[in-house]
Amino acid sequence: MRLGVCYYPEHWPRERWALDARAMRALGIGCVRIGEFAWSRLEPEPGRYAWQWLDEAVETLAAADLEIVLGTPTATPPRWLVGAHPEILPRDANGNPRGFGSRRHYCFSSPVYREHCRRIVAQLAQRYGQHPAVVAWQTDNEYGCHDTVLSYSEAAADAFRQWLRERYGDIARLNEAWGTVFWSQEYRDFAEIDPPAGTVTEANPAQRLDFQRYASAAVASFNREQVEILRAASPGRDVLHNFMGFFTGFDHFEVARDLDVATWDSYPLGFLEQRSYAAEQDKACYARTGHPDIAAFHHDLYRGVGRGRWWVMEQQPGPVNWAPYNPAPLPGMVRLWTLEACAHGAEVVSYFRWRQAPFGQEQMHAGLLRADASPDQGAAEVRRAADDLARLDPEPTRPAPVALLFDYTAKWWLDIQPQGADFDYLRLVMEWYGALRERGLDVDIVGTAGDLAPYAALFAPSLPIVEPALAERLTAFEGHLLLGPRSGSRTCDARTPPGLPPGPLQALTSLRVVGVESLRPGSERAVRYAGRDFAMRHWCEQVQCELDPLARFADGGGAYLRHGKVRYLAGWPDAGLLGAVLDEVCAAAGVHTVALPRGLRLRRRGSQVFAFNYGPQPVELPVERGRALLLGERTLPVAGVAVWREA
């Protein structure tokens, strides 16, 4: 694994560049990402390109033996372009343009903007595509950041209508699929359809799902246009994009199909504060370490998204500037996060950013260096991580024994029709993932088209819409399968299945869901399982079947059911029930689990076991007596990392 850093030569005087490059090398950094927001410096006037500074920056970095990842600058259209073509701005759901002055102020559907993107990308690719130091290209920056996937512009409306024409062929078929007879919504022509916004109350849910599907496809095609240009002009280089954590606005598997490598931006403390589902006491406990499952979950997700090839493109080096509270990482955490990414199979971990900016929106965001170029906390830890990596010689990553099925469509659908304020797909997924990881397991995350064959057990926390191809693959799957609530509850057209849920999974599960209810906080329903008392919260289902349930609600109804190797959970289990169910599945599948102490996580590369202590106390590692550690100590300190070889 290599180390990298995000660098903005255009922010600093030229005299600094060579000094910075040397200082990067001294920390063990081998690769630098540049250029992704530099459009106004690359093309200061329409059609007038200013390459000289970038030529010099590239040469300076190359002379220090640094590999370069060049970003396309399309996340930041310059002011002159917005002035000439205000129609490229995205529109919010009220139809108002989102203005110039920050970033991501463009609509994915704008043909004019796409044309300018192809032009600037082609220019860049032509100029630097064959440069020996340029090893990879990053398309744009964080698609969807700042809520920019959905745009309600004229261009988006037109393209949505065209997408619907292609999907449905004729308007009668669309009316049928969307059920537009309900509330007199029937259309006579595709031209009459608008994006779902501005309606008096909730818009048609099938229309909303299709608009989300369209928007996801628009991100993918926007990306693909850049990829094709880059591949043609810059053969042999990896093309990648930096995805975001906890972001589901488009289907990452779909976008990544056109990429060589999936990368993601890891901000463990910012995510815990701003986007996690952690309880307040966990937020306090992990405020300076990050939650033990958040970075790991995304490492596993992007390994799946990238078909095995993935990087951390931006790693938090100190406090960020964008969460409600921005603590400094505990000493040791920058190193721990780096080694953890290695344990999960990353090819590169790259820090954001080299030096703290003394101007602009992110002045409060730490870098490896302070604004005055003196080394900050992160710098020393990067050097330490580089030394650890040099000593470790990590073995190849193998498939995990179990996989979790992650589906972007599930997230979209369950947001459109949550039927209960607490039904959040990501939260459910994080609970299942965390419970598996607390049992010491390595977990692969697969999409709905992923290869299921390697796994002894497959966990699908919820799978509301099951395309026919996936239903076939689940039927053919030979391992143990656990399906969560609401699986198979809608057809591909977002209708209730004719024979009721779980629709195409009825034969597999041998049951029917005849009723559902959501529960307010504090009102749970008791469940009895293997002689112990647990509960379902948030969501419960009423099941009809001939099976003898493994667990029952107090009224005798089935709560946890098994048909051969396929199991179904008829609700949202509390932590105890979820744990007991996962233990049962793992035992049946022959997957060995351990009970890890709070905050400790394990991850394997070949025979090497990595251990990470996110918890507030030192912990004793589950290592056999007499086995020597390759790194760290048996009593693992807070923020500590250890590695040993499994027998």
Q: Which of residues 295-324 bind ligand GAL (CB under 6 A)?
A: 314, 320
Q: Please confirm whether the linkage preceding 601 is cis (ω < 30° from 0).
A: no
Among residues 366 and 446, whose Cβ is nearest to ligand GAL? Answer: 366
∠ CA 377-378-380, rounded to 5° = 80
Closest approach of Cβ 315 to ligand GAL, in Å?
10
**Residue 386 engages ligand GAL in binding (rule: CB under 6 A):** no
Among residues 265 and 388, whose Cβ is nearest to ligand GAL? Answer: 265
> Using CB under 6 A, which of 104, 291, 299, 365 touches ligand GAL?
365
Instruction: Assess whether 524 carries a catalytic annotation.
Output: no
| Matching residue, tokens 């999974």 | 505
Closest approach of Cβ 352 to ligand GAL, in Å?
5
**Residue 266 engages ligand GAL in binding (rule: CB under 6 A):** no
**Residue 352 engages ligand GAL in binding (rule: CB under 6 A):** yes
Q: Which of 36, 142, 340, 347 is catalytic?
A: 142
Instruction: Assess whether 142 carries a catalytic annotation.
Output: yes
**Residue 76 engages ligand GAL in binding (rule: CB under 6 A):** no
Q: Which of residues 562-591 bind ligand GAL (CB under 6 A)?
A: none
Among residues 265 and 407, whose Cβ is nearest to ligand GAL? Answer: 265
**Residue 38 engages ligand GAL in binding (rule: CB under 6 A):** no
| Matching residue, tokens 């920058």 | 334
b (16+ CB within 10 A) / e for 523-544: ebbebebeeeebbbbbbbbbbe
Task: Quote the crossing angle between the two packed helices 205-233 and 111-128, to the nearest 10°.
Answer: 30
Q: What is the DSSP string of 309-361?
A: -EEEEEE--S--SSSSS-PPPPTTHHHHHHHHHHHTT-SEEEES-SB--SSST
634, two tokens: 């048996």
> Using CB under 6 A, which of 43, 258, 265, 381 touches ligand GAL?
265
User: Residue 579 CB: number of other CB atoms within 10 A?
Assistant: 18
| Host H or E run for residue 536 | strand 532-545
**Residue 212 engages ligand GAL in binding (rule: CB under 6 A):** no
Closest approach of Cβ 370 to ligand GAL, in Å?
16
Among residues 320 and 586, whose Cβ is nearest to ligand GAL? Answer: 320
Among residues 367 and 464, whose Cβ is nearest to ligand GAL? Answer: 367
Measured in whole angstroms, the distance separating CA 114 from the mean position of its chain's CA atoms is 25
b (16+ CB within 10 A) / e for 280-292: eeeeebbbbbbbb
Q: Which of 36, 43, 273, 314 is catalytic?
A: 314
**Residue 273 engages ligand GAL in binding (rule: CB under 6 A):** no
**Residue 376 engages ligand GAL in binding (rule: CB under 6 A):** no
Among residues 318 and 488, whose Cβ is nearest to ligand GAL? Answer: 318
Site string for ligand GAL, 132-171 (x = CB under 6 A): ---------xx--x--------------------------
Half-sphere exposure of 8 (CA within 13 A, CB side): 21
Please tell me the distance from the alpha carbon of residue 433 to that of residue 93, in angstroms, as a whole number: 34
Interface residue list for ligand GAL (CB under 6 A): 141-142, 145, 265, 267, 314, 320, 352, 362, 365
Catalytically annotated residues: 142, 314
